[in-house]
């Protein structure tokens, strides 16, 4: 079936990207990884950029599906969001944050990538903005601008990613910085690693 093949190609793209990086990503390697011919891959994706666009689309979809919290206490939702973002989904795949960094560096030349990264940023900010707005309504968080908090959280997450890759700084350290900042903004401190 077409969508199963596509999904296998996207999985293989993820593996090759994590192992060989953006520069080492070739259709041949993806074909080898997926046990397919390069022709089969070209049938589904005209260019490497289209393939990576589909890869990013899939990534955002999976990220979004993990962020669908039950309508529960906004404090729990915010803690769960931080757990989700600061816990690597696959601790073995050290190459994944590096590959994402490379794709971000390509965004100025690849409008498709930039669009996806903006989409991902939109998801993060919308989710955080809603949680904060609910928490203010419930009286759990201090009065503040939810969109401003969301933008701040998104920027700090971007900083955490860059520091993790460039400096080798553990994600937990940036998480602590963000928790301190949220405490100042919301008058409430998320408990680190409650869901871990």
Q: Which residues bind a copy of itself (CB under 8 A)?
A: 21, 23, 94, 98, 101-102, 104-105, 107-108, 113-114, 117-118, 121, 148, 151-152, 154-163, 165-168, 173-174, 177, 180-181, 184-185
Return the number of the residue (49 or 98) whose C-beta is nearest a copy of itself.
Answer: 98
Nearer to a copy of itself, 37 or 183 (CB): 183
Asked whether the beta carbons of 15 and 35 are under 8 A apart, the reply is: no
How many whole angstroms separate alpha carbon 44 and alpha carbon 57?
A: 15
Q: How far is the CB of 60 from a copy of itself (least distance, A)?
A: 14
The distance of closest approach from Cβ of residue 114 to a copy of itself in the complex, given in angstroms and rounded to an integer, is: 6
Per DSSP, 22 falls in state T
Residue closer to a copy of itself, measured from CB, 166 or 195: 166
3-state secondary structure 124-137: HHHHHHHHHHHHHH
* Helices vs. strands in the chain: H and E counts, helices first: 9, 0
Per the CB < 8 A criterion, the answer to whether 174 and 189 are in contact is no
Min dist CB 101 to a copy of itself, Å, is 4
């Amino acid at each position: 079936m077409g969508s199963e093949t596509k999904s296998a190609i996207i999985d293989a793209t993820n593996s090759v990207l994590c192992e060989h990086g953006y520069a080492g990503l070739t259709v041949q390697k993806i074909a080898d990884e997926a046990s397919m011919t390069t022709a089969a891959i070209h049938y589904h994706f005209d260019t490497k950029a289209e393939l990576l666009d589909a890869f990013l689309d899939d990534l955002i979809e999976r990220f979004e599906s993990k962020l669908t919290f039950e309508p529960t206490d906004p404090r729990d939702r915010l803690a769960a969001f931080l757990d989700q973002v600061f816990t690597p989904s696959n601790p073995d795949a050290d190459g994944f944050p590096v590959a994402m960094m490379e794709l971000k560096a390509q965004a100025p030349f690849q409008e498709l990538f930039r669009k996806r990264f903006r989409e991902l940023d939109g998801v993060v900010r919308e989710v955080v903005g809603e949680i904060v707005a609910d928490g203010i309504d419930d009286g759990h968080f201090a009065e503040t601008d939810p969109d401003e908090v969301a933008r701040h959280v998104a920027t700090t997450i971007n900083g955490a990613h860059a520091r993790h890759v460039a400096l080798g700084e553990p994600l937990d350290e940036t998480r602590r910085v963000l928790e301190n900042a949220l405490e100042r903004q919301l008058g409430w401190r998320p408990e680190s690693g409650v869901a871990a």
